[in-house]
């Protein structure tokens, strides 16, 4: 059935062509915004934003992005909703679909997102789950290409915890056809399910225990917190992750013009040192800005606007 809307659940759920179209649109919208042009294709539309975990960037960039598109937002926190008192996701999806025009959710188990998408009759956007963070990676690919051109065949290196941001980066490596080295300590590997999907879809991924090996000759070095929100049970202790810290010595193994990326918030002195995150390779605030532009294009894609 050709619905008049689409969900943005995961990079694996979209074709390479759709993802590329979204990035092209994000760049065009960014340029038009900087040129002072106003376009309000979503006037009269309301986006409900459900947060079951904290957020700074996602919350503000979706809110501002929806307003720039002419729409409005409704901020909902899980604890203040009946969702926090065991109302089902399915019932919540059906009710919200009677009021609002789209739903964005940041939640825990990935199945909560998928269940919401299954039962909603308006677009659903993944704003982070325990498993994935696709909006972040769309902003990151956009950022890489703004600085260095097409991402295809480039070498990305991930070092640290095998978490939700990495899973989306793995999906992106298949969809955008770049190489990806992953260095994680034993017990912090990315989920086999995401690894299998990426490899079955042509991703060129190499797993190693050595951050030095992973970063050698890389075009882009990426890391994230060693303990994700709600994942405290997976915490390994800083000493386990210390060899995976992105510091000046590790960064020196990458290409001289390599970029450094981090979705933020950063735990300075843990997964990254000040000299790297504040240094010449770092594009972390460009990534944060591009969340706004990429998500406006994602929202527009969902509405076919």
Binding to ligand NVA by CB under 6 A, coded x per residue (else -) over 169-198, reads ------------------------------
CB of 130 to ligand NVA, least distance (A): 7
Tokens of 27: 């760049």
User: Smaller CB distance to ligand NVA: residue 165 or 205?
Assistant: 165
267 catalytic? Reply is: no
233 catalytic? Reply is: no
Is residue 228 marked as binding?
yes
DSSP, collapsed to helix, strand or coil, labels residue 265 as: coil
Please work out the total of residues on this chain that contact ligand NVA, with binding judged by CB under 6 A: 9
* Cα torsion 39, 44, 139, 10: sign: negative
Is residue 133 marked as binding?
yes
Reported as half-sphere exposure (CB side, CA atoms, 13 A), residue 211 has a value of 25
Instruction: Give yes or no for residue 52 binding ligand NVA (CB under 6 A).
Output: no
Is residue 82 marked as binding?
yes
Q: Are 122 and 103 in contact (CB under 8 A)?
A: yes
Reported as half-sphere exposure (CB side, CA atoms, 13 A), residue 54 has a value of 6
Catalytic residue among 10, 136, 167, 245: 136
User: Smaller CB distance to ligand NVA: residue 263 or 298?
Assistant: 263
Kind of pairing between the strands at 220-223 and 155-159 = parallel
175 catalytic? Reply is: no
Per DSSP, 149 falls in state S
* Cα torsion 262, 264, 266, 271: sign: negative
Binding to ligand NVA by CB under 6 A, coded x per residue (else -) over 262-281, reads -x------------------
* Cα torsion 123, 61, 37, 21: sign: negative
Is residue 143 marked as binding?
no
User: Smaller CB distance to ligand NVA: residue 61 or 164?
Assistant: 164
Residues that bind ligand CP (CB under 6 A): 55-58, 128, 136, 263-265
């Amino acid at each position: 059935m050709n619905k008049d809307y689409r969900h943005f659940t995961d990079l694996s759920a979209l074709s390479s062509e759709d993802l590329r179209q979204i990035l092209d649109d994000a760049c065009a919208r960014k340029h038009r915004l900087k040129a002072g042009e106003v376009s309000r294709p979503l006037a009269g539309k309301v986006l409900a934003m459900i947060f079951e975990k904290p957020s700074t960037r996602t919350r503000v960039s979706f809110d501002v992005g929806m307003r720039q598109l002419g729409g409005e937002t409704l901020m909902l926190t899980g604890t203040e909703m009946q969702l926090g008192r065991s109302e089902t996701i399915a019932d919540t999806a059906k009710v919200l679909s009677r009021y609002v025009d789209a739903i964005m959710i940041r939640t825990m188990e990935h199945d909560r997102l998928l269940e919401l998408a299954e039962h909603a009759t308006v677009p659903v956007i993944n704003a982070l789950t325990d498993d994935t963070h696709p909006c972040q990676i769309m902003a990151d690919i956009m950022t890489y290409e703004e600085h260095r051109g097409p991402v295809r065949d480039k070498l990305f290196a991930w070092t640290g915890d095998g978490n939700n941001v990495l899973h989306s980066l793995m999906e992106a490596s298949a969809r955008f056809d770049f190489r990806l080295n992953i260095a994680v300590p034993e017990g912090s590997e990315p989920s086999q399910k995401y690894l299998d999907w990426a490899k079955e879809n042509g991703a060129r991924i190499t797993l190693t225990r050595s951050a030095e090996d992973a970063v050698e000759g890389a075009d882009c070095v990426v890391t994230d917190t060693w303990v994700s929100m709600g994942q405290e049970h997976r915490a390994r202790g800083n000493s386990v992750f210390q060899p995976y810290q992105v510091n000046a010595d590790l960064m020196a193994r990458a290409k001289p013009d390599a970029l450094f990326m981090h979705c933020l918030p950063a735990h300075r002195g843990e997964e990254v040192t000040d000299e790297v995150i504040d240094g010449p390779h770092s594009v972390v605030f460009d990534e944060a800005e591009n969340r706004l532009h990429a998500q406006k294009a994602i929202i527009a894609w969902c509405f076919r606007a």
